[in-house]
């Protein structure tokens, strides 16, 4: 029994070590990816975890940003503005992270199997418009 438990501890230890390394690299990457205060254009604003879609949207609109699209996370919205200081305004209004918008969505992820992503028959047919 103790031998079996020992094996599970090894598995948990490996998982923990991997998650620690991953979190460190991912954290550094996010820091590097954060946009400077003066940034404009299409961005993704991340609001605190636990914020509802309504809360996030209200905070975003307080900056007079244009909504590009909602994402599959309630606290992340893709927005756009050409006014200088856009990223700073988003942060002042509650965003914990502001990043350049990426052309990525669930259908691209599905394409990671090595085949072309399968697009739904209904709705828009551009990859950029899902997510």
Partner 1 sequence: MTTSSASPGLGWRTPLLIIIAGCTIALLNFGTRAGFGLFLEPISAANGWGREVFALGIAIQTVLWGFGQPFAGALADKYGSGRVLAIGGLFYAAGVALSAFASTPGMLNVTLGLLIGIGLAGSSFTVALSAIARMVSPEKRSWALGIGTAAGSMGQFLMVPLGQGFIAAFGWQVALMLLSLFALAIIPLSFILAGKAPEGTGPQQSLGEALKEAGNQKSYWLLISGFFVCGFHVSFIQTHLPAYIVDRGLDAGTGAWALALVGLANVVGSYSAGVMGGKRSKKYLLSFIYGARAVVIAIFVLMPMTTLSVLIFAFAMGLLWLSTVPLTSGLVAQIFGPRYMATLFGIVFFSHQVGGFLGVWLGGRLFDLTGSYTVVWWISTGLAVFAAIVHWPIDERPLVRVAPAAAE
Q: Does 130 help bind partner 1 (rule: CB under 8 A)?
A: yes
Q: Does 78 help bind partner 1 (rule: CB under 8 A)?
A: no
- Whether the CB-CB separation of 119 and 72 falls below 8 Å is answered with no
- C-beta of 14: minimal distance to partner 1 in Å? 6
The pair of structure tokens assigned to 54 is: 């309504």
- Whether the CB-CB separation of 65 and 90 falls below 8 Å is answered with yes
Q: Does 109 help bind partner 1 (rule: CB under 8 A)?
A: yes
The interface with partner 1 within residues 88-107 (CB under 8 A) comprises 99-100, 102-107
How far is residue 26's CA from residue 18's CA, in Å, rounded to a whole number?
Answer: 12
Binding mask 32-71 for partner 1 (x = CB under 8 A): xx-------------------------------------x
With 0-12 / 13-18 / 19 or more C-beta atoms within 10 angstroms meaning exposed / middle / buried, residue 98 is: buried
- First and final C-alpha spacing in the chain: 47
- From 24, 25, 62, 67, residue interacting with partner 1 (rule: CB under 8 A): 25
In DSSP terms, which residues pair with 100 in a beta bridge?
Answer: 43
Q: Where along the sequence are the contacts to partner 1 (CB under 8 A)?
A: 4, 6-8, 10-11, 14-15, 18-19, 22, 25-26, 29-30, 32-33, 71-73, 99-100, 102-123, 127-128, 130-131
């Amino acid at each position: 029994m103790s031998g079996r438990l020992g094996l599970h501890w090894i598995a948990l230890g490996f998982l923990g070590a991997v998650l620690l390394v991953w979190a460190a690299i991912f954290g550094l990457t996010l820091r590097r990816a954060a946009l400077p205060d003066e940034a404009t254009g299409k961005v993704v604003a991340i609001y605190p975890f636990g914020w509802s879609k309504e809360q996030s949207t209200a905070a975003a609109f307080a900056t007079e940003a244009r909504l590009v699209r909602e994402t599959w996370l309630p606290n992340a919205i893709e927005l756009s503005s050409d006014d200088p200081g856009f990223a700073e305004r988003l942060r002042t209004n509650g965003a914990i992270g502001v990043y350049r918008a990426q052309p990525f969505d669930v259908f691209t992820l599905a394409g990671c199997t090595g085949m072309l992503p399968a697009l739904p028959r209904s709705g828009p047919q551009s990859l950029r418009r899902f997510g």
